[in-house]
Amino acid sequence: MRVLLTGAAGFIGSHIHRAALAAGHQVVAADLMLAAAHGAGAVAPPGIVRVDVRDPDALADLLQGVDAVCHQAAVVGAGVSAQDAPAYASHNDLGTAVLLAAMDRARCRHLVLASSMVVYGEGRYVDSAGDPADPAPRTRADLGEGRFDHRGPDGRPLTWAPIDEDAPLRPRSLYAASKVAQEHYAIAWAAATGGTVTALRYHNVYGPEMPRDTPYSGVAAIFRSALEAGEAPRVFEDGTQARDFVHVRDIAAANVAALEQPLDAFTPLNIASGTPITIGEVAAILATACGGKQPVVTGEYRSGDVRHIVASPERARRALGFAAAVTPTAGLAEFATAPLRPAAGAGAPTWR
C-alpha cells in the first residue's frame, strides 16, 4: 500500500513511519516542521518532505498513486489564550479541509485521522446507585478547599466509568475544538465521496522520543524533567485523577491496523491501554524506576482540568483486532530512562 503520512517527523508520526515501513508499506512522508513543535531552525529529517497541508498544489503531487492517508499533522497543546484560536483553526481545521479536498481530486478514499480523547471533555461518571451522572463543572471554591471529586445530588463523590465512542463531544479547549471540527469535516467528506474514515481517539500518549515538557498529554515528560533535575515530581490535586496512558508503539500499531482495514464510512475508536492508572501512580512509577525522589502531592489545581477520563478500548478490539501490548506499569518504567527529544513544544504558532 502507498500511504501519505502527514506530521511524519513528529513524536507520534515518526513511530508510525517506522511501523508502516516495517509492515511493508510505501510511505510518502511529509511534515511542515513547525518551530512550535520541532524548535527554531528545525530541518526535515532524511526521507521527509517539508510540506504545508494547507497547500493544495503540494498535496496534489504527494497524493499521486496514494491508496490511503494517515493524517497526524496538527498544532497541539490546550491553547494558552483565546488569541491562539486562529492558529488551531488554520493548521488543524483548514489544513484537514484542504487535505480532504485534495484526496477527493486524487480519488484517494481512505483516511486514518489522529483524533484525541479531548473531544469528550469530561469522562463518564456514575452515581452512588450506579446510574449515569452528568456532573456540572467543578467550582473554584470547591477546588480551593480540596474538594476535587464531582458529587451527585446525594453529596457523595461520583465514580468514573469507561467512556465509549458514543459519548457526546464536549470540547473544553481550543485544541479539543479543532479536533472535533476535524472529525466533523471527515464525516461530511465520507458522506460526500463514499470514502472511509477511521478516527483514532488517542488517550495519554507517552514513550521514547517524546518531546521534553510537551504541552500535549505531557505530564509524564514533565515528571521526568523534574526527576532529572533532582526534584520530586509535583502531583496536582490529590493524585487520584484516573487516566489511560497508552504507549506510542501501540499508537503506531493501531494506525497500521486502521490503514490496512478500512471500516464503514466514519468510525471513531478509542486507542488506549485498557488499564486505568492514576496520575499519582504515574509519578511514583517514574520516580522508582529512575531512583529519584518520590512524588509530592501538592493539592494545587488548574481550572478546567478534567477530573477523570478513562477509555473503553472494546470497539477498537472488535473493529480492528487491536489491543495494546504495553501495560502502563511496564511502559512507564521503560519511559523513565528512555531517550527524549530535546525540543520542547511551544504551544500554538502564528496562523498566517
pLDDT digits (tens, 9 = 90+) for 278-317: 999 999 999 999 999 999 999 999 877 899 999 999 999 9
Contact present, 255 and 200 (Cβ < 8 Å): yes
- pLDDT surpassing 60 at residue 113: yes
- pTM equals 0.95
Residue 321, sorted as left (phi over 0), alpha (psi -120 to 50) or beta, turns out to be: left
Pull the grid cell for residue 151.
Answer: 458529587
Nearest to 278 by CA among 347, 222, 332: 332
Q: What is the mean pLDDT of the chain?
A: 93
pLDDT at 261: 97
Contacts of 157 (CB under 8 A, 6+ apart): 149, 150, 151
Of 245, 256, 254, nearest to 210 (Cα)?
245
Residue 39's pLDDT band, with cuts at 50, 70 and 90, is confident
- Say what the pLDDT of residue 217 is: 46
pLDDT of residue 80: 60
Rounded to an integer, what distance in angstroms lies between the CA atom of residue 292 and that of residue 295?
9
Give the three-state DSSP class for 185. Answer: helix
Which residue blocks in the chain are alpha helix, DSSP H? 11-22, 35-38, 56-62, 85-88, 95-105, 140-144, 174-193, 219-228, 248-260, 279-290, 314-320, 328-335
Q: How confident is the model at residue 41 (pLDDT cuts 50, 70, 90)?
A: confident
pLDDT above 80: residue 342: no
Contacts (Cβ under 8 Å, ≥6 apart) of 61: none
Count other C-beta atoms under 10 Å from residue 34's C-beta.
23
C-beta of residue 78 within 8 angstroms of C-beta of residue 71: no
**Cα 279 vs. chain centroid, distance in angstroms?**
17
Give the Å distances, CA to CA, from 125 to 86, 119, 150, 167, 316: 33, 16, 9, 11, 21
DSSP H/E element including 114: strand 110-116
245-247 and 159-161: which strand pairing? unpaired
Q: Give the pLDDT score at 179.
A: 97
- Grid cell digits, residue 236: 496536582
Residue 226 in grid coordinates: 523534574
With a pLDDT cut of 90, the percent of the chain lying above it is: 83
Asked if residue 146 has pLDDT above 70, the reply is yes
